[in-house]
């Protein structure tokens, strides 16, 4: 009988781990701060990861369906692992997930460059003077992307963006080609945007579709170039009165807005553009009531003002808001990237009598407010009345002594003393 060696078993478990994805697909691990981290590792074992994201990406791109998972340091007090610029340009697209770490581009470099149909989830990218993200593939999808570009555009190119936060300087989001789609995303300016910088810029000859997009802070929120078509639903571009919500730059620019918050007085037409190039369904022109990060504040006029229909309705990426919360809450979806929970129902004027608290056998109290983080015990609570004690039969008897009734009881036996004599 051949016994498998420990090494063989370890190898088999590593293979199982590596091949846990779709058939034939492997996961490649990256952790810069791991003591065993080396790009010369195979990187399919989390205990022997790659040191750089690029090192793992280059290994993953040689076959179909591979994933690169960047592991954040376990100790949340430790500084965030930071990585150099990454390029996804291989023959096969990869899925890149990197929660809790950051890609930081130096100089004029681009932080994350994607030229294939890769899937990017939970990636934070910072850059100084180059774009944070550049995507040339309309098949690329970005979910949970965070960009901070202090001297350039946050995201430039095409693809599909969902649940993202984009901060840019010369633009938050610059859509350049194809048919890009943006859902549940906030675009806002870095603290001091230069005059004229648009939040979202549509370059020439493209059709972009936005659903649940919030743009705040830029002098111009959305700019539509020549031969570009903007389609937007449940979005808000409204800002202060000295700024521009929407700018059409040519006679060939157009905008189709559904339940979208744009003021006619803050819409600009240049280069021969006219009002007739903007079509509106259920137009909104309200103060958006947003906080500085683009979330709805209580009582915002955008709550429940969206439509369940319109462009990109039913898209799987529309099921969650920018924070990952359920999209459809209350009587209708909210306008913008954020969705708020409806207020709790008003209690009736005469409160119902509260039944007395009953302690169940597990020690939890029924009828009382549950303790925080207490495990929920699904056990029926039954009120069992205490069993009645059987009555002791009296040993006393009634006798008639000298014509009077008298109760006579047997004398109690004295306990024998255990004391030894
Ligand atoms: Ca709602
Ligand atoms: Ca929310």
Give the Å distance between the CA of 315 and the centre of ligand 1.
Answer: 17
Is residue 202 within 8 A of residue 173, CB to CB? The reply is: no
Asked if residue 206 belongs to a domain, the reply is yes
More confident residue, 313 or 364: 313
pLDDT of amino acid 28: 98
pLDDT tier at 369, thresholds 50, 70, 90: very low
The first and second tokens of residue 350, run together, are 């005469």
Given a cut of 70, whether residue 8 has pLDDT beyond it is: no
The predicted structure's pLDDT at residue 196: 76
pLDDT in the model for residue 395: 65
Among the bound ligands, name the one nearest to the CA of residue 329.
Answer: 1
Ligand 2 centroid–CA 312 distance in Å is 19
DSSP assignment string, 275-311: GGGEEEES-B-----B-TTSPBPTT-TTTT-S-SSST
More confident residue, 363 or 415: 415
What is the residue range of 170's domain? Answer: 158-318
pLDDT at 67 over 80: yes
Mean pLDDT of 46-62: 98
Stretch 67-71: mean pLDDT: 98
Average the pLDDT over 144-155 and give the result: 94
Check residue 365 and give its pLDDT.
36
Q: 71: closest CA among 94, 50, 87? A: 50
- Ligand index nearest the alpha carbon of residue 339: 2
Ligand 1 centroid–CA 30 distance in Å is 39
CA distance linking residue 331 with residue 342, whole number of Å:
9
Closest alpha carbon to 54 in 30, 80, 81, 25: 30
Question: For residue 339, how far is its CA from the centre of ligand 1 (angstroms)?
Answer: 6
> pLDDT higher for 331 or 75?
331
Q: Write down the residue that tokens 């954020």 correspond to.
A: 338
Cα of 216 from ligand 1 centre, angstroms:
20
Number of domain units in the chain:
1
Least distant ligand from the CA of 304: 1
Ligand nearest to the CA of 297: 2
Residue written as tokens 């970005």?
A: 142
CA of residue 278 to ligand 2 center, whole Å:
29
Structure confidence at residue 150 (pLDDT): 87
Q: In what order do the strands lie in the sheet with 244-248?
A: 86-88, 112-114, 133-135, 153-157, 171-175, 198-202, 220-224, 244-248, 267-269
Q: Is 12 part of any domain?
A: no
Cα of 376 from ligand 1 centre, angstroms: 29
Residue 213: inside a domain, yes or no? yes
Q: What angle do CA 261, 302, 157 make, to 5 degrees?
A: 50
Distance in Å, CA 32 to ligand 2 centroid: 33
Q: Is the pLDDT of residue 47 over 70?
A: yes
- Distance between CA 323 and CA 214 in Å, rounded? 13
For residue 324, the CA-to-ligand 2 centroid distance in Å is 7
Q: pLDDT-derived band of residue 402, with 50, 70 and 90 as boundaries? A: low
**Greatest C-alpha distance within the chain:** 132
Tokens coding 245 = 């919500």
In a domain, 209, yes or no: yes
Give the ligand at the shortest distance from the Cα of 214.
Answer: 2
Cβ(249)–Cβ(227) below 8 Å: no
CA 162/CA 317 separation, integer angstroms: 6
What residues does 198 pair with on adjacent strands? 220
Cα–ligand 1 centroid distance for 208 (angstroms): 25
Sign of CA dihedral 307, 308, 311, 317: positive
Distance 307 CA to ligand 1 centre (A): 10
Q: For the domain that residue 238 is a member of, what is the CATH number?
A: 2.160.20
Ligand nearest to the CA of residue 300, numbered in listed order: 1
Determine contact, residues 283/263, Cβ cutoff 8 Å: no
Mean pLDDT, range 32-46, rounded to an integer: 97
Cα of 161 to ligand 2 centre, how many Å? 18
Q: What pLDDT is recorded for position 192?
A: 75
Residue pLDDT, tens place only, 119-131? 999 999 999 999 9
Q: What pLDDT does 22 receive? A: 54
Q: What is the mean pLDDT of the chain?
A: 84
Ligand having the closest approach to the CA of 330: 1
For residue 113, what pLDDT band results from cuts at 50, 70 and 90? very high
Taking the CA of 328 as reference, the closest ligand is 1
CB of 221 within 8 A of CB of 198? yes
**What pLDDT does residue 277 have?**
98
* Residue 236 reports pLDDT greater than 70: yes
Provide the pLDDT for residue 351: 57
* Confidence tier at 3 by pLDDT (50, 70, 90): very low
- Cα(219) to ligand 1 centroid in Å equals 28
Please report the pLDDT score of residue 40 as a whole number.
98
Spatial contact of 199 and 188, defined as CB atoms under 8 Å apart = yes
Domain presence at residue 151:
no
The helix (run of H) or strand (run of E) holding residue 17 is helix 6-18
> Is residue 137 in some structural domain?
no
Do residues 224 and 255 lie in contact, with contact meaning Cβ atoms separated by under 8 Å? yes
Q: How far away, in angstroms, is 108 Cα from ligand 1 center?
A: 41
| Per-residue confidence (pLDDT) for residue 78, from 0 to 100 | 73
253: in domain:
yes
- What average pLDDT score do residues 201-221 get? 96
* Inside any domain, residue 178: yes
CA of 321 to the centre of ligand 2 (A): 6
Q: What is the pLDDT of residue 289?
A: 97
pLDDT at 161: 98
Question: In terms of pLDDT, which residue wins out, 29 or 385?
Answer: 29
Map residue 6 onto helix, strand or coil: helix
Q: Which ligand is nearest to the CA of 323?
A: 2
Please write the tens of the pLDDT for every residue from 259-271.
999 999 999 999 9
Of all residues in the chain, the percent with pLDDT exceeding 90 is 68
Q: Which ligand is nearest to the CA of 326?
A: 2
């Amino acid at each position: 009988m051949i016994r498998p060696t420990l090494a063989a078993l370890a190898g088999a478990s590593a293979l199982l781990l590596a091949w846990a994805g779709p058939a034939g697909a492997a996961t490649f691990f990256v952790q810069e701060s791991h003591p065993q981290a080396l790009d010369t590792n195979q990187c399919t074992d989390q205990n022997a990861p790659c040191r750089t994201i690029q090192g793992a990406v280059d290994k993953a791109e040689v076959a179909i369906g591979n994933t690169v998972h960047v592991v954040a340091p376990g100790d949340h007090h430790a500084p965030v692992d930071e990585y150099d610029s990454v390029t996804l340009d291989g023959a096969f697209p990869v899925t890149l997930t990197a929660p809790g770490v950051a890609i930081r581009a130096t100089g004029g470099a681009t932080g994350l460059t994607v030229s294939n149909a890769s899937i990017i989830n939970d990636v934070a990218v910072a850059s100084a003077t180059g774009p944070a993200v550049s995507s040339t593939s309309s098949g690329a999808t970005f979910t949970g992307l965070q960009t901070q570009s202090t001297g350039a555009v946050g995201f430039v190119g095409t693809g599909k963006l969902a649940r993202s936060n984009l901060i840019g300087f010369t633009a938050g989001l610059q859509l350049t080609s194809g048919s890009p789609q943006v859902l549940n995303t906030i675009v806002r300016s870095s603290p001091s945007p230069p005059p004229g910088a648009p939040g979202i810029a549509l370059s020439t000859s493209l059709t972009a579709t936005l659903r649940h997009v919030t743009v705040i802070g830029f002098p111009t929120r959305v700019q539509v170039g020549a031969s570009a078509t903007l389609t937007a639903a449940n979005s808000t571009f409204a800002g202060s009165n000295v700024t521009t919500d929407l700018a059409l730059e040519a006679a060939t620019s157009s905008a189709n807005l559904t339940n979208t918050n744009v003021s006619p007085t803050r819409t600009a037409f240049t280069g021969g553009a006219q009002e007739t190039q903007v079509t509106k369904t259920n137009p909104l022109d309200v103060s958006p009531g947003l906080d500085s990060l683009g979330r709805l504040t209580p009582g915002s006029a955008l709550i429940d003002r969206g439509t369940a229909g319109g462009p990109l309705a039913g898209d799987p990426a529309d099921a969650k808001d920018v924070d990952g919360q359920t999209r459809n809450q209350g009587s209708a979806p909210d306008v913008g990237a954020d969705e708020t929970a409806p207020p709790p129902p008003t209690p009736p004027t005469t409160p119902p009598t509260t039944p007395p608290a009953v302690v169940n056998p597990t020690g939890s109290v029924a009828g009382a407010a549950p303790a925080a983080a207490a495990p929920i015990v699904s056990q029926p609570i039954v009120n069992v009345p205490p069993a009645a004690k059987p009555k002791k039969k009296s040993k006393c008897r009634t006798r008639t002594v000298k014509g009077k009734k008298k109760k006579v009881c047997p004398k109690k036996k004295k306990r024998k003393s255990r004391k030894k004599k």
